[in-house]
Amino acid sequence: MDRITLGNQEFEGHNNAYVLADGDDLALVDTGIATPDVEADLRDGLLERGYDFADVDAVVLTHFHADHAGLAGEIQREGGATVYVHEADAPLVANDPDAIADLHDRRREYLERWGVPADKREELEAVFEGVSVDPEPVDVTPIEDGDVLEVGRRTLTALHAPGHAAGLCCYELEGGEEAFVGDAILPVYTPNVGGADVRVDRPLAQYVETLRRIADRDYERAWPGHRDPIEEPTDRALTILEHHRERTGRVIDVLAEHGPADAWTVSAHLFGGLEGIHIVHGPGEAFAHLDHLAHEGAVELEGREYRLVEPSLEVDRLFD
pLDDT tens series, the chain, 320 aa: 999 999 765 556 689 999 999 988 999 999 999 999 999 999 999 999 999 999 999 999 999 999 999 999 999 999 999 999 999 999 999 999 999 999 999 999 999 999 999 999 999 999 888 787 888 999 999 999 999 999 999 999 999 999 999 999 999 999 999 999 999 999 988 999 999 999 999 999 999 999 999 999 999 999 999 999 999 999 999 999 999 999 999 999 999 999 999 999 999 999 999 999 999 999 999 999 999 999 989 999 999 999 999 777 777 777 77
Residue type, 42: L
Output the pLDDT for position 7.
77
Same fold, 3-115+117-231 and 239-319: no
160 phi/psi in degrees, rounded to 5? -60, 130
For residues 190 and 164, give the distance between their C-alpha atoms in angstroms, rounded to a whole number: 10
> What is the fold of 3-115+117-231?
Metallo-beta-lactamase; Chain A (3.60.15)
Number of H helices, E strands in the chain: 10, 13
Helical pair 278-295 and 203-217, crossing angle rounded to 10 deg: 90
Pick the CATH number of 239-319 from 1.20.120, 1.10.530, 1.10.8, 1.10.10: 1.10.10
Distance CA 136, CA 279 (A): 28
Q: Domain extents for the chain?
A: 3-115+117-231, 239-319
